[in-house]
Structure 1
């Protein structure tokens, strides 16, 4: 019955997701931008037409992180705890990570980091295209942690071989090292091709590592471009999935880093951003109350 009436039929096969979308009272996903993106063919996985027809009952509520777990002042994985009022201790974390990873020790050397799965969706093609050029022309350190497709693993190993004093490629996963990288790094790179919400940028904000992200999904919703005139914003963004745009966004961040007071303002804005579950829980509660007809 439900196949023949079209509710489950999907290109001569059965799609229970389609059925769920049709019969749900409300539909929610993990960011407002992603809720819009999935109404278009590129992101919609052939369900974009159905999602467009349900747009009045489609909601995007961004994920949060546990601020008790992700707390740089209490995180036992870090070399040294810190908060927004003790940013010198963040630099201490950088020095100790540089020592452990065998990189030249410098408190003022900008450290760019990625903690990621090594898969195409994370925008690694852009990194592969531009990172050699960036490292040749910029005085930076680049630290990577993650595993994934062998081609990317091998490429990052090669990058570390070509730039042994600038690159640390850690092709494994360690929660302790991940937390230390968030704490030590100055800039957190997330050039994702798509990212429904993203957790990495939220952790980075909490630890004062300024995100450089592509404008997609939750990255667009949570990272506000810094404006040096209003002193508002918590990171840097680029719009198109383009390697040169990524490079220019990263260079904007590096340029801001050269101005100590300006960079301190951006880091403070990042750490004062609130992406705990508090606001997201309030939105979910309101949605469920609307669903049950129990709104206040």
Structure 2
């Protein structure tokens, strides 16, 4: 079984968000399951020079973007046991940053068309193309409408993964028609048309053979109007082809036993975790006390992450006997809110308005509790990292948070964290207070940490489920 992953970013080449982590880890886990996987990416200027120098040219060819025939170079390299292809065009990809340009529609239509064209020049005949997020969302549409008549392409099947439905690649109909070289008939309510324009995400949902998203709960949620981002009707129509598969975690990168970024390496030792806490308190200028409950937050400071809930209870939270350590950037109003709170409560709060990987690891390793009160969360990475570093998550029960964090039950002793159901600031505050109370009960907290230690969110579990889905798409003689 051969699968080509098509995505706009991947660790270790280029990263802007969680998608890059998935593309960096899932293919490796699939290879271990016996699936032959290769990955195709844009050749960005942002890719480190030492990696770009290892790429070798496979073929140069033209790619039609509307009526324009654009240069495309197909390059390849092996890296840590995986085979990567890169689509090279300096006009589209030799830029600072990878997204946010006025011609993003043209850049990623070119990339999607180039992927389809490149298949003819690879020494690899994929059975399945697995596309990720809107940047490759039009690959299934292009395959069917521009390449479906060619014998080499007819057996190809497509899988599309929604990593975050909020980001859809919504552009004007005139622009997408020009770039795709198609007529009005494709832009109907049953086609690419979306609120007067066109949607790359909608194209993916309509034309892919199977659709996945990154947790079972999120797969159910996005079929409702509240979470569906105006695509819930399409998702309900394709409910039989929609699957939720929980993302995994790179256990080697997030390993407190081998993490050079933290002060004291540990696995299940609460004593070592307290030593990390006192080291972080010293570094951030907080009062030193191993028994002071520390709540960590590593997040983008935007409404989706529930920051407006924290805003309503922040003063009440900081009047408790706790310390609150925050790392992240985002909306200016939230950055200022946390800076002001840290100035008012210098013994209770440290607001680090930046992002630094090393400090993030220190916060995971030092915090007793980790806060994720998200409005919606397709999968969530923070709670999985918190589990690895034995920090107890406090989450809103939505999406992947609901699927991974089991609320603590004082009667049965089961549970790996604390949750609240409604998007309500006082429910959040109640969950925090309950977590702090449990931390102060010496027989309860080690039990919760013990429950967390039994969790396995490695990529192997996800890879088995993806392999099963791939098998459903292939004729029996190919399996």
TM bucket, shorter chain: over 0.9
Residue 59 of structure 1 pairs with residue 243 of structure 2: yes
Displacement of 1:17? 2.1
The alpha-carbon distance between structure 1 residues 3 and 95, as it changes in their structure 2 partners (threshold 3 A), is: same
1:45 is matched with 229
Deviations along 1:63-85, one digit per CA (max 9) or x if unpaired, are: 1111011001111101010002x
Distance 2:475 2:394 in 1: 41
Q: Secondary structure of 1:144's partner? A: strand
Distance 1:143 1:167 in 2: 6
Identify the range of structure 1 (150-159 vs 5-14) with the bigger mean alpha-carbon deviation: 5-14
1:251 is matched with 433
Deviations along 1:107-148, one digit per CA (max 9) or x if unpaired, are: 111000100111111101111110201221x21000001111
Distance 2:236 2:189 in 1: 20
CA contact under 8 A between 1:207 and 1:271: conserved in structure 2? no
Higher relative contact order (CA 8 A, sep 6+): 1
2:362 is matched with 180
Q: Where does structure 2 lack aligned partners over 5 or more consecutive residues?
A: 1-184
Distance 1:165 1:144 in 2: 14
Structure whose alpha-carbon radius of gyration is higher:
2
Displacement of 1:252? 1.0
Distance 2:344 2:302 in 1: 22
Q: Secondary structure of 2:226's partner? A: helix
1:95 to 262, 278, 283: 278
Displacement of 1:5? 7.5
1:154 is matched with 336
CA contact under 8 A between 1:192 and 1:214: conserved in structure 2? yes
* Shift >3 Å, 4+ stretches: 293-296
Q: Where does structure 1 lack aligned partners over 5 or more consecutive residues?
A: none
The alpha-carbon distance between structure 1 residues 4 and 179, as it changes in their structure 2 partners (threshold 3 A), is: closer
What TM-score comes out, normalization by structure 2 length? 0.60
1:242 is matched with 424
Higher helix proportion (structure 1 or 2): 1
2:196 is matched with 12
Deviations along 1:183-213, one digit per CA (max 9) or x if unpaired, are: 0000000001111111011100110000000
Distance 2:305 2:196 in 1: 32
Distance 1:82 1:5 in 2: 55
1:110 to 293, 311, 317: 293
Higher strand proportion (structure 1 or 2): 2
Distance 2:378 2:306 in 1: 14
Q: Within 5 Å, give how 1:1-296 maps onto structure 2.
A: 1-4=185-188, 6-84=190-268, 86-136=269-319, 138-294=320-476
